[in-house]
Structure formats: C-alpha cells, structure tokens
C-alpha cells in the first residue's frame, strides 16, 4: 500500500532503508518526545524487520510507512496506522519527521494522508493520536489535520526515567 500526496510518497519500508531510517531514529532530537530511542543500529534493524513482516500480516492490523520526499527521493520520516480494535473500527496513528525536514509542512501532509486512509479505505470509525503537551509542533499538526483534543493523560509514559503526560486527540469518520 502506498499513499501519495502533493510532495510525499508514503510507502512500505524496504530493506535498503536502514541507513536513512537510522539517521532519523538514532537522533536524540527526533525521539525527544518518544517512549523509545534513540535507537542503536541494531534496534533500527529490528524495527525495520518488523515493519517488513507487517506487510504480510493477515488480517492486516498495522501499516508502517516510510515518508519519502518526492522531489529528491529522500526518506524523511515515518508514519504508522494501527487498528487496535477491528470490532469497534478503532485505530491509532503516529508520525515523525527528521529535523532537517521539519517546519515545511511534511508532518501535516503525511499525517493527513494516514488519517484519511484510515477513515476511508481502512474502514475505521475512530482514530486517535497522542503527543507530549510540550511538543507544540505535534499539537499543531494534529489540530491542522482536523483532530480534536479529547483529554490530558497524566503520567502516561515513563520516558528515560521521567513520567510524561500525553494529550489525546481523535477524529471520527464522517457520518454518511
């Protein structure tokens, strides 16, 4: 499955993505707000193998996309959609963009594509995303793509020895 936007390809990961992916996942600035990382090359390889395996998953519950800039073919981030409850048509999504590509609207463009895919072709009724309250850029992305803030989750993650809150955002499929 590949998603295309005006400036991006969101495509399945490939075995040859390790170098570009690790440059992102191993960067402390990128994973500052995440409950994982910064990755070692070995941890990035494990993630990549897992992403490749999920392409064969039946029934499909997770889509992991390499976010690739169309203008130069560079891998600049990743995005994910996970169906957490097929019965209730409910999923979660997330994304990250390399520091060099931040501030150009790529996160918004990629996140919007994943959200729209999940709510249409993915058949989901509700998609949620969380972000750290201090991650103002991610708050803006979630609001720009039409997600609504639904809550503040206190001490939701233990990140590098510190309890961190999360803001909960969601979007519902349009009623037909």
> Of residues 164 and 58, which shows the higher confidence score?
164
CATH class of 3-172: alpha beta
pLDDT at residue 120 in the model: 95
First to last CA, the chain: 25
The per-residue pLDDT for 57 is 87
Query: What value, to the nearest 5°, has the Cα angle with vertex 137 and ends 10 and 155?
Result: 105
Instruction: Write down the mean pLDDT value for the chain.
Output: 96
pLDDT at position 28 is: 95
pLDDT attached to residue 1: 86
Measure the CA–CA gap between 171 and 28, rounded to whole angstroms. Answer: 30
Asked if 56 and 49 touch (Cβ cutoff 8 Å), the reply is no
Overall pTM > 0.85: yes
What are the contacts of 136-142 at 24+ separation with CB within 8 A? 137/102, 137/107, 138/33, 138/107, 139/167, 140/108, 141/95, 141/107, 141/108, 141/111, 142/111, 142/169
Helices (H), the chain: 18-25, 41-54, 106-119, 136-144
* 101: pLDDT strictly greater than 90: yes
Kindly report, residue by residue over 12-25, the tens digit of the pLDDT: 999 999 999 999 99
What pLDDT, on a 0 to 100 scale, did the predictor assign at position 174?
83
Percent of the chain whose predicted confidence (pLDDT) is above 70: 99
Domain ranges within the chain, ordered by starting residue: 3-172
DSSP E strands in the chain: the ranges are 3-4, 8-12, 62-69, 75-85, 90-97, 126-131, 148-159, 162-172
At residue 175, the pLDDT reads 62
**For 74-89, how does the pLDDT look when each residue is reduced to its tens digit (9 = 90+)?**
999 999 999 999 999 9
Percent of the chain whose predicted confidence (pLDDT) is above 90: 94
pLDDT of 176 above 60: no
């Amino acid at each position: 499955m590949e998603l295309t936007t005006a400036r991006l390809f969101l495509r399945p990961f490939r075995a040859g993505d390790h170098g570009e992916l690790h440059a992102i996942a191993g960067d402390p600035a990128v994973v500052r707000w995440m409950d994982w990382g910064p990755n070692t090359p070995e941890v990035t390889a494990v993630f990549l193998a897992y992403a490749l395996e999920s392409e064969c998953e039946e029934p499909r519950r997770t889509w992991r996309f390499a976010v690739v800039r169309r203008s130069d073919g560079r891998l600049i981030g990743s995005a994910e959609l996970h169906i957490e409850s097929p019965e209730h048509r409910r999923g979660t999504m997330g994304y990250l963009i390399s520091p060099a590509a931040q501030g150009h609207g790529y996160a918004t463009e990629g996140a919007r594509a994943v959200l729209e895919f999940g709510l249409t072709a993915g058949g989901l009724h509700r998609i949620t995303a969380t972000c750290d309250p201090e991650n103002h850029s991610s708050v803006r992305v979630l609001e720009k793509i039409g997600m609504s803030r639904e809550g503040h989750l206190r001490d939701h993650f233990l990140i590098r020895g510190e309890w961190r809150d999360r803001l909960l955002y969601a979007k519902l499929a349009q009623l037909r």
